[in-house]
Amino acid sequence: MNDQREYKCVDEEGILGDYHKLSNFGSLKIFYVNHHHRMEEIPKENGYYINQKEYIIVKDDFSYTIDAEPFNEDEECIDHNGYIFYDPEPMICLSFAYKVKVNKEHAGLYLVLYTEPNPFEFSNYTFRSVTISNNKITFAETEEAVEYCLKDNWKLSTKKDKCRYQVTCKNGICSEPVEIKTILITQNQ
């Protein structure tokens, strides 16, 4: 470690933007490569941390690494919701039909439909809000319930007015998307 609290990669080449983990004696630390061969420790959040063609799953104080597979256009995202693939960049399957690249260009808040099996062992058909940034996906955990509009690409935006589909999320767990017409009909009965 140097004066800037950075660690130097010794065992493997540190590529800018990658994440690494260190588990020692029950302590889990996540590191971000911020310069060539230099890593800084970052606050650990539940989610995915991508390192080349593998990704680190962090859930509470538990973590493990999964190799990302190439994306199969024939299968698409069916039965792979919540998994990271390469196409040739890292991407996540948000639902049966939607996927998004995990990079700066697509940064933002999204909805993921988790089906079984999934990397976090969530129950079948669990909806979670996630924040996507470059090579990192974390759960958007809010203490208060927040209403969002769901766009066609499964990106979420804070609900300000009427929207076609809406979800309510609290502590990162979201309701099933509801079409606004259904809500209005129910409220008017």
pLDDT digits 0-9 by tens, 13-22? 567 777 777 7
pLDDT of 170 = 93
Which CA distances in Å does 157 have to 60, 61, 88, 98? 27, 30, 28, 17
Checking DSSP bridges between strand 84-86 and strand 69-70, what pairing results, if any?
A: parallel
Q: Lowest-confidence range among 79-83, 88-92, 135-139, 184-188? A: 184-188
Token pair listed for 6: 């950075």
pLDDT digits 0-9 by tens, 30-81? 888 887 667 788 888 999 998 878 888 898 878 888 888 888 877 778 878 8
Contact 174, 150 (CB under 8 A): no
pLDDT of 26 = 59
* Full-model pTM: 0.82
Confidence tier at 88 by pLDDT (50, 70, 90): confident
Contact 65, 55 (CB under 8 A): yes
